[in-house]
Chain A
Amino acid sequence: MPETPPPVRRSKAIPVPPVAQSASEKTLPLRINGKTYYHEGDPDMPLLWYLRDVLRLTGTKYGCGIGYCGACTVLIDGKAQRACLTPVKALVDQDVTTIEGLAGAELHPLQQAWIEEDVAQCGYCQAGQILAAADLLRRNPRPSDEDIDKLPNLCRCGTYPRIRKAIQRAAQALAETKK
């Protein structure tokens, strides 16, 4: 099982949990890609199936369902997490970012680098790869090859060398914008 990096203290303000307005006390407020949704179903439902079946945010993929492959990686308060193992009830007061919510007005530098390095083959694992890389760059803006080696996500098509290049390219681009 991959080592999960130590949690990083969140610096931004916790969004105010919405008061149970007209919805019943049982609804669960979930903040996903900057929007609040109220879940009325099973609070144990894994975030993966909530995103896909309920919100139809299908960019987050199923690959193994046991936390091993990383296809379902999302950012929870900026940290890469496995949506297949995260019940929605654990998400109260946390910010979830999926691949659909990664870009702002412009693509995230990682997305741009992924395009430029032409990383994707089938593409199925790539949302998870990009979000895992986003977490890596947040912790370590200039990752070495050894740091990149620690990324645990599987790619059946064998795109690892181009993923490596894309991360380095994005790190470079981020460093330049900071100058």
Chain B
Amino acid sequence: MSGLTRRRFLVVSAAASGALLVGWRSASAQQRLPYLGAREEAQGLGPFIRIDKDGTVIIGARATEIGQGVKTSLPMLIAEELDADWNRVRVEQLPYGYIDTEQGPGDKYGDQGAGGSDNIPSAWKDLRQAGATARALLVQAAAEQWDLPPEQLRTEAGYVIAPDGRRLGYGELVGAAAALDPPKDPVPLKKPQQFRIVGRPTRTVDAREIVTGRTQYGIDAYLADALVAVMLRCPHLDGTVDKVDDSETRRVPGVRDVVVIAGPAPDAPIDGVLASGVAVLADDTWAALQGRDKLKVEWKPGPWSAESNAALAARANELLDQDQGAIAVRRDGDFAKAFRQAAIRLEARYEMPFLAHATMEPPAALVSIEQDKALLIGSLQSPGGASRVINALTGIPRKDIEIRLTRAGGGFGRRLKNDYVAEAVRIAQAAGKPIKLLWTREDDLQHDFYRPFGVHALRAGLDRKKKLVAWSHRCAATPRNYRDSGMKDRPLYAGCLEADDFPAGLVANLEKTFFPVASGMPRGWWRAPLHTFHAFAVQSFLDEIAVATKQDAVQLRLELLGPPRRIPYSGHGGPTFDTGRLAGVLTLAADKIGWQDKRRDGHGLGIACHFTFGGYAAHAFEVSVEGSELVIHRAVCAVDVGRVINPLGLEAQMIGGTIDGVSTALNLAITVKDGRVTQRNFPDYPLLRMAQAPRNVEVYIVDSTAEPSGAGEIGIPSAAPALANAVYAATTVRVRKLPLLPELKRLL
């Protein structure tokens, strides 16, 4: 590495504001190339770009890839501004980049987490600049070599080109470019009409590794001397370990140790481990699993042993009936008066179940804790959070905690929690050895941070012209804001209701109110969290209004949205919400499904739309119910996420989001009885299979020049209500409780 020590590296890091800090650091602080596969002679142009002498460009992917496509789309942004030849780009996952700064903890590579559909909007601001800066240096190096002013040079697909047609490859220039002083100010970015990579359908960069089984996920990490750990967690919410008999466990060949891990105190934040339990450590997974089967543990049930879904639903409805303990979320005009005076009054309640994330790759973590340093390899969504957890439990300075990121087998919000990292650290500390913790599917379904349970009570008042003049949305739910120190400054309704969500700002007299329902179920963020939670109620109710007042469901929504304009939106994805863009996707979906064409033979159409995290989507389904079987004949998704970075990836997210929406709406619920989760494995939590999924999801993308937004979450919220609305159209049975299929069977 001695050749590198005097070379200087451009450090481009994103400040919280999204502005760029461009500075120099000596290479010695960065002895090791962070890329696992980069050749040592590859030269660096900033932390995201290495260029090999043969012209191969290696781009560092900073964000955690959970299937949302950022390992492809973020490097595309860098490659675009670098003007690289995408066919000669290799993408490598960056590790978590922690640095101590004068202002405190810093992110060497910017935000590396995966949540809130934030990666694209933030990378659009900072990563393009990283590519453009590197390109400017390469042009400068060529200009010096040719003795020409840099303004006369252009670049294309990995070459700097002189006016007379001479060309120099980036690989030939990188040595000289790396020695240059970087531009002090941000360099100009390309104009959209110059884009060659952004906007082009681009396949996932890991495709070949995935189909040949070579991709490493967190669960695939091994260390020579690490033991495998599996844990038996207390099945009772906030229960504890009373007595442990591990004598038979210890007789299983390969079992090395058994340790008891204490869970959080019933009222304390769940910042570390999620539950109390007993961990079995063994030479391999099979021995650990057999050892766990042989444990005899007596549990103390804890304070929630009476909790059940039936009791939660009863409590929620009771709070709504009595209007007790209400927390105001938003009030416009005078709902009570307008409702009293309305010509038409309607109301309905909708019940939403707890949901588990059920990532296909269950939680797992490999940790090695030494005196003064630590290593974590795992599938994560919040590597910064993992670093804080390890630091809190071990006292090891964060700069000495190495976190290697792998591709993750799904996220959906589950991995925003690092409880499994905390567990692995605690077990490794107790055992005094590196360990690899593995969760089985039973562990995963029984111990999750569930999407909240709740009942939405909606009321609407319409005037004689059937115009909506009063809207009330009261929600009684187990607050998402529960024992989460990250949310301590947020209101109790955060994550269940959003003040400015549709139709707020569009109905003169409107109230939104929240009623907290006490529960011992741990709660967390679940893909498009509060949006999947409330859009079902709002979009189903609009359909009920349309039916009851004999209005067209699309027309009713369009009138509500009114002329295209931006209205303030204080939630995530703001600061504004564009009524025209929502109307646009709604109309597009309606056109594509053939909304105006009469359906026969028991087919029905349903539609819904929603705004989430800066993106707009609408779903439309054509279904029929034959016997008790629901058949989805067509599934249409129209989406507007602003400028599209990778159309192929966007389409995948919309297909996946739609199917996730359908799968969840049809069959999925986590239930609690006697203070324990009922479901154990996939047979009780039956994800959709091929046969039940729509054969095709038709995705229509709005061509837009608006700032790009993320796409991992917008594809799901409107799917469930559109489906339920279609079921109504086909059967005149209104499903107001999810999951849909068991409820439909009950009602038919």
Interface residues of A (CB under 8 A from B): 41-42, 45-46, 49, 52-54, 56-66, 68-69, 71, 98-100, 102-103, 107, 110-111, 114-116, 118, 120-127, 130, 145, 148-164
The answer to whether B652 and A159 touch across the interface, beta carbons within 8 angstroms, is yes
The answer to whether A158 and B211 touch across the interface, beta carbons within 8 angstroms, is no
Neighbouring B residues of A52 by C-beta, 8 Å = 220, 285
Any A CB within 8 A of the CB of B297: no
The stretch from B52-60, B164-172, B402-410, B484-492 touching chain A is: B402-410
Distance in Å from the Cβ of B366 to the closest Cβ of chain A?
12
The stretch from B31-39, B389-397, B691-699 touching chain A is: B691-699
The answer to whether A115 and B208 touch across the interface, beta carbons within 8 angstroms, is yes
> Interface size of B by Cβ–Cβ distance < 8 Å?
66
Please, which residue of chain A has its CB at the minimum distance from the CB of B206? A123
Q: How far is the CA of A177 from the CA of B287 in the complex (A)?
A: 46
Cβ contact of B687, chosen from A102, A154, A161, cutoff 8 A: A154
Given A122-B66, A122-B410, A155-B360, A160 and B659 touching (CB < 8 A)? yes
Q: How far is the CA of A63 from the CA of B212 in the complex (A)?
A: 18
The answer to whether A154 and B360 touch across the interface, beta carbons within 8 angstroms, is yes
Q: How far is the CA of A157 from the CA of B659 in the complex (A)?
A: 8
Neighbouring B residues of A149 by C-beta, 8 Å = 690-691
Interface residues of B (CB under 8 A from A): 65-69, 203-204, 206-208, 210-217, 219-220, 222, 228, 253-254, 284-287, 289, 358-362, 407-412, 438, 440-441, 648, 652-653, 655-660, 663, 681-683, 687-691, 693-697
Neighbouring B residues of A118 by C-beta, 8 Å = 203-204, 207, 648, 652
Cβ contact of B360, chosen from A58, A107, A157, cutoff 8 A: A157
Q: How far is the CA of A177 from the CA of B586 in the complex (A)?
A: 45
Q: How far is the CA of A118 from the CA of B287 in the complex (A)?
A: 38
Q: How far is the CA of A127 from the CA of B438 in the complex (A)?
A: 20
| 15 more A-B residue pairs beyond the given contacts A110-B211, A127-B213, with a C-beta to C-beta distance below 8 A | A41-B284, A45-B284, A49-B285, A63-B362, A69-B441, A107-B208, A114-B210, A120-B211, A122-B359, A124-B67, A130-B211, A152-B689, A155-B687, A158-B688, A161-B655
Neighbouring B residues of A121 by C-beta, 8 Å = 67-69, 652-653, 656
Q: How far is the CA of A57 from the CA of B220 in the complex (A)?
A: 9
The answer to whether A114 and B409 touch across the interface, beta carbons within 8 angstroms, is no
Closest 6 CB pairs of A and B: A59-B213, A158-B659, A122-B67, A124-B409, A99-B213, A58-B220
Q: How far is the CA of A156 from the CA of B690 in the complex (A)?
A: 11
Neighbouring B residues of A161 by C-beta, 8 Å = 655, 659, 693-697
The answer to whether A68 and B682 touch across the interface, beta carbons within 8 angstroms, is yes
Q: How far is the CA of A103 from the CA of B210 in the complex (A)?
A: 13
Distance in Å from the Cβ of B204 to the closest Cβ of chain A?
6
Cβ contact of A126, chosen from B211, B228, B659, B691, cutoff 8 A: B211
Neighbouring A residues of B653 by C-beta, 8 Å = 121
A sample of 8 cross-chain residue pairs with beta-carbon separation below 8 angstroms, ordered by A number, consists of A46-B286, A52-B285, A69-B360, A118-B204, A122-B361, A149-B690, A155-B360, A158-B657
The answer to whether A100 and B214 touch across the interface, beta carbons within 8 angstroms, is yes
Distance in Å from the Cβ of A5 to the closest Cβ of chain B?
15
Neighbouring A residues of B207 by C-beta, 8 Å = 114-115, 118, 120
Neighbouring B residues of A103 by C-beta, 8 Å = 212
Neighbouring A residues of B289 by C-beta, 8 Å = 65
Q: How far is the CA of A151 from the CA of B648 in the complex (A)?
A: 25
The answer to whether A145 and B682 touch across the interface, beta carbons within 8 angstroms, is no
Q: How far is the CA of A42 from the CA of B291 in the complex (A)?
A: 14
Q: Which among B207, B653, B697 has the highest number of chain A CB atoms within 10 Å?
A: B207
Given A122-B408, A124-B217, A158 and B655 touching (CB < 8 A)? yes
Distance in Å from the Cβ of B288 to the closest Cβ of chain A?
9
Cβ contact of A53, chosen from B286, B648, B683, cutoff 8 A: B286
The answer to whether A154 and B286 touch across the interface, beta carbons within 8 angstroms, is no
The answer to whether A71 and B695 touch across the interface, beta carbons within 8 angstroms, is no
Distance in Å from the Cβ of A56 to the closest Cβ of chain B?
6
Q: How far is the CA of A46 from the CA of B357 in the complex (A)?
A: 26
Given A64-B682, A98-B213, A164 and B690 touching (CB < 8 A)? yes
Q: How far is the CA of A20 from the CA of B691 in the complex (A)?
A: 47
Please, which residue of chain A has its CB at the minimum distance from the CB of B652? A121
The answer to whether B213 and A120 touch across the interface, beta carbons within 8 angstroms, is no
Q: How far is the CA of A163 from the CA of B659 in the complex (A)?
A: 13
Neighbouring A residues of B214 by C-beta, 8 Å = 59, 100
Neighbouring A residues of B220 by C-beta, 8 Å = 52, 58
Neighbouring A residues of B438 by C-beta, 8 Å = 62
Q: How far is the CA of A118 from the CA of B695 in the complex (A)?
A: 16
Distance in Å from the Cβ of A38 to the closest Cβ of chain B?
16
The answer to whether A156 and B284 touch across the interface, beta carbons within 8 angstroms, is no
Q: How far is the CA of A148 from the CA of B409 in the complex (A)?
A: 24
The answer to whether A120 and B204 touch across the interface, beta carbons within 8 angstroms, is yes
Neighbouring A residues of B691 by C-beta, 8 Å = 149-150
The answer to whether A123 and B407 touch across the interface, beta carbons within 8 angstroms, is yes
Neighbouring B residues of A153 by C-beta, 8 Å = 689-690
The answer to whether B359 and A156 touch across the interface, beta carbons within 8 angstroms, is yes
The answer to whether B253 and A114 touch across the interface, beta carbons within 8 angstroms, is no
Neighbouring B residues of A160 by C-beta, 8 Å = 659, 688, 690, 693
Please, which residue of chain A has its CB at the minimum distance from the CB of B412? A156
Q: How far is the CA of A163 from the CA of B362 in the complex (A)?
A: 22
Neighbouring A residues of B690 by C-beta, 8 Å = 148-153, 160, 163-164
Distance in Å from the Cβ of A24 to the closest Cβ of chain B?
16
The answer to whether B689 and A115 touch across the interface, beta carbons within 8 angstroms, is no
Neighbouring A residues of B663 by C-beta, 8 Å = 158
Distance in Å from the Cβ of A13 to the closest Cβ of chain B?
27
The answer to whether B206 and A154 touch across the interface, beta carbons within 8 angstroms, is no
Please, which residue of chain A has its CB at the minimum distance from the CB of B285? A49
Distance in Å from the Cβ of A102 to the closest Cβ of chain B?
8
Q: How far is the CA of A144 from the CA of B49 in the complex (A)?
A: 46
Q: How far is the CA of A61 from the CA of B362 in the complex (A)?
A: 10
The answer to whether A156 and B358 touch across the interface, beta carbons within 8 angstroms, is yes
The answer to whether B360 and A54 touch across the interface, beta carbons within 8 angstroms, is no
Q: How far is the CA of A151 from the CA of B688 in the complex (A)?
A: 12
Q: How far is the CA of A149 from the CA of B632 in the complex (A)?
A: 14
Neighbouring B residues of A64 by C-beta, 8 Å = 441, 681-682
Distance in Å from the Cβ of A125 to the closest Cβ of chain B?
5
Neighbouring A residues of B285 by C-beta, 8 Å = 49, 52-53
Distance in Å from the Cβ of A145 to the closest Cβ of chain B?
6
Distance in Å from the Cβ of B670 to the closest Cβ of chain A?
15
Please, which residue of chain A has its CB at the minimum distance from the CB of B657? A158
Q: How far is the CA of A151 from the CA of B690 in the complex (A)?
A: 7
Cβ contact of B284, chosen from A49, A110, A127, cutoff 8 A: A49
Distance in Å from the Cβ of B227 to the closest Cβ of chain A?
11
The answer to whether B409 and A61 touch across the interface, beta carbons within 8 angstroms, is yes
The answer to whether B693 and A158 touch across the interface, beta carbons within 8 angstroms, is yes
Q: How far is the CA of A123 from the CA of B204 in the complex (A)?
A: 10
Cβ contact of A99, chosen from B65, B212, B410, B688, cutoff 8 A: B212
Please, which residue of chain A has its CB at the minimum distance from the CB of B646? A118
Please, which residue of chain B has its CB at the minimum distance from the CB of A98? B213
Given A62-B362, A157-B656, A161-B694, A100 and B203 touching (CB < 8 A)? no
Please, which residue of chain A has its CB at the minimum distance from the CB of B207? A115
Neighbouring B residues of A154 by C-beta, 8 Å = 360, 682, 687, 689
Please, which residue of chain B has its CB at the minimum distance from the CB of A165? B696
Q: How far is the CA of A136 from the CA of B8 in the complex (A)?
A: 55
